[in-house]
Structure 1
Amino acid sequence: MKKISLRLRFTLTASVFLFVSCTVLAFLSNFSANKMVEAIELQPSVAVQEGDVLFFPLEEIQPAIATEAQKSYHVFRTESIVATICIVTVGSLATYFASGYVLKPIRTLSQEVEKRNATNLEKQIPIPQSADEIQQLTVSFNHMLKQLQHAFELQKQFSADAAHELRTPLAVMQAKLDVFSMSEQRLEDVDSLVASMNQQLDRLNALIEELLWFSRDLPLEECRDVPLDLLISDVAEELSCVAEEKQITLTLDGENCVVQGQDNLLERVFYNLIENAIKYSAPSSHVSIRTKHQENHILVDVIDEGEGIPQEYRELVFEPFFRIDKSRSRLVGGSGLGLAVCKKILERHGASICVLEHQGGGSIFRVIFPS
């Protein structure tokens, strides 16, 4: 029953009620008619004389009356069954169409709710003119949308403000370290200290960039054809030096696929995915990127040979700042926002991303574009 619509459930309930009511009514009517037929059959025969008129004894006509009564009873029973079927059928159809009319405001509200997402929460749902529960529900939902919009705005504003506030002191620290690095008067072991501080500054700068990306609305203002094979090839070439440091082989394989979107945003997505695949793969392993058409979709798989991601974490990895192994994440670096940014950009393109298990060990990050 959970998978049946409210309209059909209401119709089935009304049909069962009509069927039971008509069946009981027909049974009682037939029971009464049968009693009448039995009474006619058992009626005694009496001859009556009124004046000069003498009625014939009923013994001669009683069998004929009983036979006609039985025929009438059978006709009545047949007609009652047909009437029951007709009433239930017509009543069910009438209930179905009447419930469609009554439930139309709910269906309209459901369609409007489905259109709302994080990008258009400010758009209020039209309030129906009828002063009923649907109107009150719409008003309550609009109030909830307003509160959600305010919460999203606060979150985005906080991320943007935090990133901008952190940028200035980091830039000053970086400049002073650069000046100090060029100085000839340095103590022993200072080089390792400067290198460590530079590494941490680079990590903080990466976190700030990811925060800025995550706080943006990332609107798709100028969508155009983006050839994925060329875009991924450019990204792989840019990351080839990072792969060479770990002696990781990058392989590109697939078809010429074109999607609609913004190339700079999609470049950010595949840069993050391929960079993560390199970071979390073992040295001297293999990372492959495959693109292919499948039915009405375009699939891009980024396959690594790392430790893999457990089943219970495959959706959580796209949440901001989520880490499976925090100690290992600190060793390989990363801000914890890369995959969240990827998911956000792909949702703007009407695409999705998921994690699959790789049979040879490791993970498959699959991006699904509508073709």
Structure 2
Amino acid sequence: MKKLSLRIRYTLITSLFLLISCTALTIISNLSANSVMQAITLSLSVEIGESAQQSPDSSPETSQEPEYISEPAVITTRASYRVFRRESIIATVLIVLIGSAATYAAAGYVLKPIVSLSREVKKRDANNFAQALPLPSSADEVQELTASFNALLAEVKRSFQLQKQFSADAAHELRTPLAVMQTKLDVFAMSGELPPEAQEFAKNLQAQLARLSSLVEDLLWFSRDYPLEPVEPVRLLPLLEDIVEELSDAAREKGIRVELHASDCVVQGQDCLLERAFYNLLENAIKYSPDGTVVELSAAVQEGAAVVRVADQGEGIPEKYREEIFEPFFRVEKSRNRAVGGSGLGLAVCKKILERHRAVIRVLPRHPCGSVFEVTFPS
């Protein structure tokens, strides 16, 4: 059942209060009117009886008990009471209805600043959550609430900026020593005078250093804000062809064939950012696909919007994880992911870049096995 709004609840409570109050007032008024009517009827009856006894024309044989109910004054009194009772009930109903309508209108006017505040809050997302809310002109509690909320947003923004700055600084400081270690290890491995055990050890170190360097690089990408200015037309076909060429060696090592089916689509954005996003998607598909399978990369225009799909023949992603896989460092199967490698930031970086381009990325199942990463750009 849908929860009632604050305006409706306030109106219902006020209407219930009006109904109880008016009903009680009507009952009390009718009881009082009934008492007055009975007193008037009794008084008239006594007066009529006394007049009949004092009449000179009356005789014991002809005198009888007077029919007080047939007297015009008594009938008029009782008729007036019935009219009063009927009109009091009608007035009660009208007061409750008019009061409820007036309460609903007044509640809408009073709650208008809160409704406006709610709409402004709903407009905030991951890209503009720290944007200050407009202060209402009325100097009341709503203005104080908005000011407090803006102060909270400013503090959250500052915390996020400090976190991003720390991540970027840490990753930047790690790049130089990692590059030096990688260079020295490469020279050491190429000396040719190492026993087989040392060569295997050096090879493992090179792989771990490459993985650490990839993590640092992804961390740098993830900590950036990715401004989209200047925006320029980006042709997807040559961009995707370059990515396929760059990852051809990685695909060849696993015996994977990458098939590109793309029309010459054009989107608005920055080619370097889009190249990084689609590079991560294709690299991820190659990394988690079994040896000897096919990875399909396609781009086409559908209903006026450019759509890019990366389809693999891997194990697939369970439905409950299709949103969480874009979170930083999230892994569906930790043991399998450790064996494959990767930083755990590739898809998070990908989603962040695509959101900057106002594109939507989602994961779809592929039959009989595998997953399809679909990216839809705004038309």
Deviation at 1:39, TM superposition (A): 6.0
Distance 2:40 2:376 in 1: 81
Is 1:281 aligned to residue 284 of structure 2? no
2:49 to 46, 56, 74: 46
Deviation at 1:221, TM superposition (A): 1.3
Please say if residues 261 and 349 of structure 1, whose CA atoms lie closer than 8 Å, have aligned partners that are also in contact. yes
Is 1:109 aligned to residue 112 of structure 2? no
Distance 2:83 2:258 in 1: 86
Q: CA RMSD in A?
A: 3.7
Question: Cα 1:359–1:63, aligned 2, differ >3 Å: closer, same or farther?
Answer: farther
Question: Cα 1:143–1:176, aligned 2, differ >3 Å: closer, same or farther?
Answer: same
Distance 1:170 1:325 in 2: 28
Question: Cα 1:140–1:285, aligned 2, differ >3 Å: closer, same or farther?
Answer: same
Aligned to 1:24: 24
Is 1:330 aligned to residue 338 of structure 2? yes
Deviation at 1:46, TM superposition (A): 2.6
Deviation at 1:11, TM superposition (A): 2.0
Deviation at 1:84, TM superposition (A): 2.9
Aligned to 1:15: 15
Distance 2:334 2:169 in 1: 26
Is 1:315 aligned to residue 323 of structure 2? yes
The amino acid that maps onto 2:194 is L
Aligned residues: 366
Please say if residues 47 and 58 of structure 1, whose CA atoms lie closer than 8 Å, have aligned partners that are also in contact. no
1:283 aligns to what SS in structure 2? Answer: coil
Please say if residues 299 and 309 of structure 2, whose CA atoms lie closer than 8 Å, have aligned partners that are also in contact. yes
2:49 aligns to what SS in structure 1? Answer: coil
Question: Cα 1:235–1:14, aligned 2, differ >3 Å: closer, same or farther?
Answer: farther
Deviation at 1:58, TM superposition (A): 8.0
Deviation at 1:227, TM superposition (A): 5.1
Please say if residues 69 and 75 of structure 2, whose CA atoms lie closer than 8 Å, have aligned partners that are also in contact. no
Alignment of structure 1 residues 215-226 onto 2, 5 Å = 215-226=223-234
Distance 2:93 2:68 in 1: 40
Aligned to 1:187: 194
Deviation at 1:209, TM superposition (A): 1.3
Distance 1:86 1:30 in 2: 17
Deviation at 1:357, TM superposition (A): 3.9
Distance 2:223 2:16 in 1: 55
Aligned to 1:363: 371
Alignment of structure 1 residues 135-214 onto 2, 5 Å = 135-180=143-188, 183=191, 185-189=192-196, 190-214=198-222
Please say if residues 303 and 358 of structure 1, whose CA atoms lie closer than 8 Å, have aligned partners that are also in contact. yes
The amino acid that maps onto 1:21 is S
Question: Cα 1:21–1:344, aligned 2, differ >3 Å: closer, same or farther?
Answer: same
1:355 aligns to what SS in structure 2? Answer: strand
2:363 aligns to what SS in structure 1? Answer: strand
Distance 2:258 2:41 in 1: 100
Unaligned runs of 5+ in 2: 58-64
Aligned to 2:256: 248
Distance 1:206 1:187 in 2: 27
The amino acid that maps onto 1:46 is G
Q: Which moved more, 1:154-163 or 1:89-98?
A: 89-98
Aligned to 2:275: 267
Deviation at 1:249, TM superposition (A): 4.0
Question: Cα 1:336–1:31, aligned 2, differ >3 Å: closer, same or farther?
Answer: same
Distance 1:327 1:61 in 2: 100
Distance 1:58 1:342 in 2: 103
Distance 2:37 2:239 in 1: 91
Percentage identity across paired residues of the two chains: 56
TM-superposition CA deviations, 1:31-56 (whole Å, max 9, x none): 5445555666665233549x99x9xx
Deviation at 1:258, TM superposition (A): 5.1
Alignment of structure 1 residues 339-358 onto 2, 5 Å = 339-358=347-366
Q: Which moved more, 1:326-335 or 1:135-144?
A: 135-144
Distance 1:233 1:269 in 2: 14
The amino acid that maps onto 1:213 is W
Deviation at 1:175, TM superposition (A): 2.5
Aligned to 2:103: 95
TM-score for both structures, normalised by structure 2: 0.79
Deviation at 1:365, TM superposition (A): 3.0
Deviation at 1:60, TM superposition (A): 8.1
Question: Cα 1:60–1:81, aligned 2, differ >3 Å: closer, same or farther?
Answer: closer
1:303 to 311, 314, 317: 311
